[in-house]
């Protein structure tokens, strides 16, 4: 019951700020109401002071205190709902002086009399509730706290800044699982025999929770997966749903299948079992496949999956993980192989503990009491990493204690509860101990992760923006809300309660996951505290006994729809819906005070009126519509005056309505589709929002386009537009000076708070347009801009204008330039803060590497060629680009050489294009490079991998259209890597191979 301290305190803190704002507003209220509001303000301020005192106490709160804190939280939420309602219902009161204003004010007072009386009655009732809650604290002795507070780790960090250095940029996934070498070697023979078999083969990995079943299964999946024609990974879980499993398999195999398109899976959400089985049969016919099914809970679930898969005579393999011996035995009865996973031995436990501590940028001494590690954690990997995370955090807070002293503290705290035989229940107790040691604000942030379903990849920026919109994170200690949220996420990752799964190109965590046992724990905790209500999740949770405050709908079947309709939803402040919005159609009018609405991936919005109803949710701060099927935003979007984040990426929205300019609190506008290079048109309305910090996925039209719109001249033919996009327009100034309101490009430089600007398309640009865009970039770079991405659509802007800038963007951390870039900008070596650089493949030659190796902070370097999936246009752009690449290669005498020296911090190098030139790494080249990624249809050759002394991983992603010689090159790279490993007696570099469908619309 620890959450209530943090959640109650955050609820009261948010409310006291709103009450102060309400008192400052001159609303005409019924007599006495303003005194009641002042009472709220004073009483809740006292409550907050008391709650802050509880935060600092490292004690287990008794039932009376827990119940009182719940009551504080609930009454604070209800008062906040009422305050928000006042602002909405009475916000239109006329202001000013004069006869006309007096008449309007009199009319306003008359027409709002009933509303003001209702508000007065509600405030009066809430005042009584607040008085009763206050009196209860004294009546039942809740205020009696002994001691002067302070001592525990939960007190540390509650009210002091966690002023710790941000983690260094790093690559995720470069380490092999600890202590599983024997198991991998044992199962290697099983996979090898499968090559000669014609029968379908089954492997069950069994063991209780926290033992590392999924870790082992994924290691096998990566190690042997490229030996199969195709492969897929799917999660089963406790609440097994066969159509969901089959749908996931169909989608994954579709993505890797040649000669297919996205349209082939149209309506897949409505397909039944038999249709899905038929589709799987078509996809896997005559193929040797590998399927990994994680976390099967019952024999019936296993048999349903097994019987749904096509029978193969190519030696296909199905691997499953399970906690239950009965499932493993059912697999064995089908001539399957069972591997019973064991706990780690003493040495492996010790090594995993050290590895985890070291990952927190600590350098512990080797002399650690390993017997205590074994006693606490029992050789269970999950227990080891969460305990190591807790101790690493404590070591940074209590620097006067040794690591062994921290270990003894944890051992003493857990020994009475765990005993000697650690099991799944014991792991849950360890998780509970680690949770109790979190500061209250971090408990709130962690519990919020129960919103997301099991196995979901959670994007870092997505999570941070939602935390802020929920009010969990605010500016403090001189840091912005985003920086405080980053610190909180890094702290949870450092404690290993959240697991990072991949990184962005700048070395920051890109997305993370939460282990299913940790998730199960926080789902139960969030349900107990009425923090989040989950419908259709992987675990059964009781029907909420309180008003629902935050709702997450994972499924929208009939049962879930009926549950939602029975709930009291008028107090919901946060709504997350996955897959389908159908369960909420009839309840939409009830959501009147929503602050966060996330419909990411819902495919049933385009033909409904629900989107228009969203415009009535006047308190919205976060609106997530990513990957939905919408094609326009309602005209009344301007009503959402508090909206801060609008995410319409990967939708068909191409233009925003005029009312968008009224959203003056908007800080993040996320649009467009990066892989398809589709974008949102930059309009004057967007440039009027001065608060914007992120403007991503836009298309900028040149003056000639605006001229045509203004004169209503016939549209340019598709052929002319394609030629313009490929060869670039004729560079001459516009003959007509357009009115300023028609020139959003001129107004772009007004967005001086922009930190990120991503331009996906330039259309019909002329010389004057180039000058305007360059001027805007130079001006914004002198203000706040840290991230700049431009795809010039082969108009020539990069070559002719940006490259010759006299005031280049020297303060950037990230720069992405795509399109026609035949040579590097002359100023690029002046970007001394640059961490991430993406360049068009057209700039690739030996001289490029000579220039870039002097950049002191460069962490990742990417060369890519984007081509839209648009018929002849693709051919023209690729053909044009490859001519430039060929010319650059000839100037390098047939090969691209990477010379020795420089690149002191470069760890990631990527090449992504249909055709890659010959690459040659000379001795001493890129001494810190850890990962090399190649994505291609064909590649001439890759030499000198043995000269990359720090290389750990090579990722090869090959087109489904690749010719045989490309596949031979992949085999050669694998053989070379194997020879390097043998020569160095090292597991590095490993090689991972995957396939992409070049023709599908990704």
Q: Determine the Cα–Cα distance for residues 581 and 591; give it in Å rounded to an integer.
A: 14
212 pLDDT exceeds 50?
A: yes
Cα gap 682→848, rounded to integer Å: 33
Given a contact cutoff of 8 angstroms between Cβ atoms, the answer to whether 444 and 525 are in contact is no
Instruction: Give, for 968, the enclosing helix (H) or strand (E).
Output: helix 964-984
Please say if the pLDDT value at position 424 is more than 60: yes
- Higher pLDDT pick, 276 / 735: 276
Confidence of residue 210 (pLDDT cuts 50, 70, 90): confident
pLDDT at 872: 43
How far, in Å, are 74, 441, 492, 572, 638 from residue 447 at the CA level? 18, 10, 11, 17, 33
Compute CA distances 99 → 90, 102, 105, whole Å: 21, 5, 10
Comparing CA positions, the residue from 293, 286, 327 lying closest to residue 310 is 286
Q: Per mean pLDDT, which range of 558-562, 604-608, 761-765 is the poorest? A: 604-608
Assign 929 a pLDDT band (cuts: 50, 70, 90).
very high
In whole angstroms, give the CA distance from residue 311 to residue 221.
Answer: 20
Is 60 exceeded by the pLDDT of residue 644? yes
Q: Using an 8 Å Cβ cutoff, are 830 and 808 in contact?
A: yes
Mean pLDDT of 408-435: 76
- Contacts of residue 300, Cβ cutoff 8 Å, sequence gap at least 6: none
Distance CA 344, CA 384 (A): 10
Q: Determine contact, residues 51/12, Cβ cutoff 8 Å.
A: yes
Q: Does the CA dihedral 522-524-527-528 come out positive or negative?
A: negative
Please, what is the Cα angle at 784 between 778 and 785, to 5 degrees? 60
Tell me what pLDDT residue 962 has: 83
| Span 481-502, pLDDT tens digits | 999 999 999 999 989 999 998 8
Cα distance between residue 142 and residue 62, in whole Å:
9
pLDDT at 88: 60
Q: What is the pLDDT of residues 57-103, one digit of tens each?
A: 544 556 777 777 777 777 777 777 776 666 566 555 555 666 775 67
- In eight-state DSSP terms, residue 957 is E
Contact in structure between 858 and 852 (CB atoms under 8 Å): yes
pLDDT digit string, tens, across residues 705-743: 555 555 444 444 333 444 444 444 444 434 344 444 447
The two beta strands, 317-322 and 289-296, are parallel
Smallest CA-to-CA distance from 663 within 629, 681, 679, 640 is with: 640
* Residue 449 in this model has a pLDDT that exceeds 90: yes
Closest by CA to 204, choosing from 294, 97, 75, 101, is: 294
- Cis peptide, bond prior to residue 36, ω within 30 of zero: no
377 SS3 class: helix
Length of the chain: 1002
Q: Phi, psi (5° rounding) for residue 269?
A: -60, -25
Q: Where are the alpha helices (DSSP H) in 149-198?
A: 181-194
Alpha-carbon span 816 to 814, nearest angstrom: 7
* Contact indicator for 431, 521 with CB cutoff of 8 Å: yes
Do 748 and 685 form a contact (C-beta atoms < 8 A)? no
CA distance 31 to 35: 9
Residue 143's pLDDT is: 56
Task: Please name the residue ranges forming H helices in 378-448.
Answer: 381-397, 403-418, 424-436, 440-447
Tell me the pairing of strands 201-206 and 317-322: parallel
Partners of residue 499 on adjacent β-strands: 513
- Count the Cβ atoms, other than its own, within 10 Å of residue 425: 12
Percentage with pLDDT > 70 across the chain: 77
Strand bridging mode 938-939 / 990-996: unpaired
Residue % of the chain over a pLDDT of 90: 30
């Amino acid at each position: 019951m620890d959450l209530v301290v943090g959640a109650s305190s955050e609820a009261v803190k948010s409310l006291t700020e709103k009450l102060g704002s309400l008192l400052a507003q001159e609303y005409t209220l019924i007599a006495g109401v303003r005194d009641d509001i002042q009472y709220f303000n004073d009483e809740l301020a006292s409550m907050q002071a008391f709650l802050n005192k509880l935060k600092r106490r490292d004690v287990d709160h008794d039932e009376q205190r827990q119940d009182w804190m719940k009551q504080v939280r609930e009454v604070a939420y209800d008062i906040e709902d009422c305050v928000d309602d006042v602002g909405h219902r009475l916000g239109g009161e006329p202001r000013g002086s004069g006869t006309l204003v007096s008449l309007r004010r009199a009319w306003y007072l008359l027409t709002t009399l009933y509303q003001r009386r209702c508000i007065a009655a509600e405030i009066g009732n809430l005042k009584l509730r607040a008085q009763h809650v206050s009196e209860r604290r004294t009546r039942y002795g809740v205020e009696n706290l002994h001691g002067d507070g302070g001592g525990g780790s939960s007190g540390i960090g509650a009210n002091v800044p966690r002023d710790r250095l941000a983690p260094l940029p790093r690559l995720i996934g470069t380490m092999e699982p600890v202590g599983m070498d024997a198991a991998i070697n044992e199962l290697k023979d099983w996979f090898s025999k499968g090559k000669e078999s014609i029968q379908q083969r089954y492997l069950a990995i069994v063991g209780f929770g926290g033992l590392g079943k999924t870790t082992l299964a994924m290691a096998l999946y990566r190690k042997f997966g490229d030996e199969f024609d195709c492969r897929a990974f799917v999660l089963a879980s406790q609440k097994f749903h066969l159509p969901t499993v089959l749908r996931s398999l169909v989608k994954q195999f579709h993505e890797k299948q040649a000669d297919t398109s996205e349209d082939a899976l149209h309506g897949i959400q409505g397909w039944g079992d038999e249709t899905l089985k038929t589709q799987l049969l078509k996809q896997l016919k005559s193929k040797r496949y590998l399927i990994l099914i994680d976390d099967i809970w019952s024999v019936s679930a296993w048999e349903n999956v097994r019987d749904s898969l096509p029978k193969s005579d190519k030696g296909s393999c199905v691997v499953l993980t399970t906690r239950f011996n009965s499932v493993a035995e059912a697999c064995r009865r089908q001539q399957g192989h069972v591997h019973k996973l064991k706990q780690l031995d003493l040495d492996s436990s010790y090594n995993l503990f050290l590895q985890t501590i070291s990952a927190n940028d600590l350098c512990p001494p080797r002399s650690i009491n390993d017997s205590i590690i074994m006693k606490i954690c029992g050789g269970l990997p999950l227990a080891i990493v969460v305990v190591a995370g807790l101790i690493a955090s404590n070591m940074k807070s209590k620097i006067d204690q040794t690591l062994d002293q921290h270990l003894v503290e944890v051992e003493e705290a857990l020994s009475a509860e765990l005993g000697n035989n650690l099991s799944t229940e014991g792991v849950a107790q360890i998780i509970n101990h680690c949770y109790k040691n979190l500061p209250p604000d971090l408990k709130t942030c962690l519990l919020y992760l129960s919103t997301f379903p099991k196995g979901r990849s959670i994007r870092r920026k997505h999570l941070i923006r939602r935390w802020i919109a929920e009010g969990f994170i605010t500016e403090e200690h001189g840091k912005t809300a985003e920086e405080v949220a980053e610190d909180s996420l890094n702290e949870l990752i450092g404690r290993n309660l959240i697991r990072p799964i991949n990184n962005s190109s700048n070395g920051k965590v890109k997305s993370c996951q939460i282990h299913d046992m940790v998730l199960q724990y926080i789902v139960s905790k969030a349900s107990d505290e009425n923090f989040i209500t989950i419908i259709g999740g992987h675990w059964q949770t009781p029907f909420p006994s309180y008003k629902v405050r935050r709702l997450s709908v994972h499924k929208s079947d009939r049962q879930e729809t009926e549950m939602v309709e029975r709930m009291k939803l008028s107090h919901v402040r946060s709504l997350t819906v996955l897959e389908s919005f159908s369960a909420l159609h009839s309840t939409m009018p009830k959501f009147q005070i929503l602050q966060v609405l996330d419909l990411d991936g819902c495919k049933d919005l385009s033909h409904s009126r629900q989107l228009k109803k969203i415009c009535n949710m006047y308190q919205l701060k976060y609106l997530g519509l990513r990957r939905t099927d919408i094609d326009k935003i309602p005209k009344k979007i301007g009503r959402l005056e508090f909206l801060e984040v609008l995410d319409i990426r990967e939708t068909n929205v191409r233009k925003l309505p005029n009312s968008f300019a009224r959203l003056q609190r908007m800080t993040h506008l996320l649009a467009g589709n990066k892989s398809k290079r589709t974008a949102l048109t930059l309009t004057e309305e967007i440039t009027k929002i001065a608060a914007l910090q992120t403007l991503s996925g836009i298309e900028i039209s040149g003056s000639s386009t605006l001229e045509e719109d203004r004169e209503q001249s016939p549209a340019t033919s598709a052929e002319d537009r394609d030629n313009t996009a490929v060869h670039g327009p004729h560079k001459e100034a516009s003959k007509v000076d357009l009115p300023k309101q028609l020139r959003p490009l001129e107004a772009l430089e007004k967005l001086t708070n922009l930190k990120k600007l991503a331009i996906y398309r330039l259309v019909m640009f002329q010389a004057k347009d180039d000058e305007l865009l360059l001027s805007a970039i130079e001006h914004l770079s002198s203000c706040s801009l840290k991230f700049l991405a431009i795809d010039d659509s082969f108009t020539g802007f990069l070559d002719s204008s940006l490259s010759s800038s006299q005031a280049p963007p020297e303060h950037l951390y990230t720069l992405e330039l795509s399109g026609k870039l035949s040579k590097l900008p002359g100023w690029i070596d002046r970007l001394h803060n640059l961490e991430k650089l993406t360049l068009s493949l057209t700039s690739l030659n030996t001289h490029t590497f000579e220039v870039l190796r002097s950049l002191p902070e460069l962490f990742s370097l990417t060369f890519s060629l984007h081509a839209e999936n648009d018929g002849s246009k693709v051919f023209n752009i690729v053909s044009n680009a490859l001519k430039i690449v060929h010319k650059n290669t000839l100037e390098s005498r047939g090969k691209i050489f990477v010379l020795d020296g420089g690149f002191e911090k470069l760890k990631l190098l990527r090449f992504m294009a249909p055709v890659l030139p010959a690459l040659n790494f000379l001795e001493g080249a890129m001494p810190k490079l850890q990962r090399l990624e190649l994505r291609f249809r064909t590649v001439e050759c890759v030499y000198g991998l043995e000269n990359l002394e720090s290389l750990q991983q090579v990722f090869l992603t090959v087109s489904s259209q690749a010719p045989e010689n490309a596949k031979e090159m992949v085999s050669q790279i694998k053989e070379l890597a194997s020879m390097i490993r043998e020569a160095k007696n090292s597991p590095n570099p490993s090689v991972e191979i995957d396939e992409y469908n070049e023709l599908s619309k990704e």
